Structure 1
Amino acid sequence: MTNQEKINRNAFLQNLGLKGAALVAVYCAGNSLTSCQNDSGVTPLAGDIILDLTDPKYAALKSANGYVVLSSQYVVVARTGTDIYVAVTLICSHQQQREITYRSGEFYCTAHGARFDNTGKGLNTEGKKGLTVYPTVLSGTTLTIKAA
């Protein structure tokens, strides 16, 4: 099988020789199983996101450790230091919940407790898959979150 070929969970379990009740038991417990497919749930940004930091809706970004959630773009932006901004996906890699926030100097999923550092690296078991981080560019009072 090449890297390009995909196999669904049912076919995989049948290939292991599981049949009948054993197959049903394992398949029904499948909520704790994951497939080999890329199911991160993260959609690449359609284009750059430009924020005017003088806009009151981004007031939280005036303080270190402040953050805003851009729900329609599935992005969380945090100010991690003086003129340092980090943008990550709102979608947690653990179970694709849209629950990422910023607290105590790290990104955190309020659904299951996944933790990530400012580079997107997972800090605990739930965060082990990491988090998608987008490049940011600050020019005056304009913050650009780069799509690629």
Structure 2
Amino acid sequence: MPRRSATLFVLLALAISGPAAAATPFACRIGPRADDSFLLAERFEMAVRPEARRTEYRLLVQNPHPYPAAVLTGIELYGLVQSPAEPVLVPPGGQASVLIGWFPHDMSAGRRAPPMIEEVRAGMTIPFCEVLAPDHGQVAMPMAGRRAPRLG
């Protein structure tokens, strides 16, 4: 339960902090023993993609560890389509843009406007985050910009 409380506290801090907040830590397991660690939320992004006929919401994640990390976001917000249930790999010491979800433009045809980034930030969760540290001499393979294989 303490880990869940810490995660909720960090997500609440993200919701209150606004777009100017830089590098806000959020809880993330590290290694096969699932030790407590963190990754950094750099910023939330909202982008209109006319070619895809949708507005996308993303979280830019920074990984301060020397191993890759897998991050999966979740959201339950009316009208928003949740991103695929596959973790995104964040390279060691690098950044990755993690898709939270999108709002289809056909929903806005006189019925509803896309949610503001503040609504998405407040409704977003991080149900899975793990730094893929090796165990017993295994070598970690960074896979920058590619999705992680399905875990579990």
Normalising by structure 1, we get a TM-score of: 0.27
Report the structure number with the largest CA radius of gyration.
Answer: 1
Structure with a larger share of its residues in strand: 2
Higher RCO (C-alpha under 8 Å, 6+ residues apart): 2
TM (norm. structure 2) is 0.27
Which has more helix, going by share of residues? 1
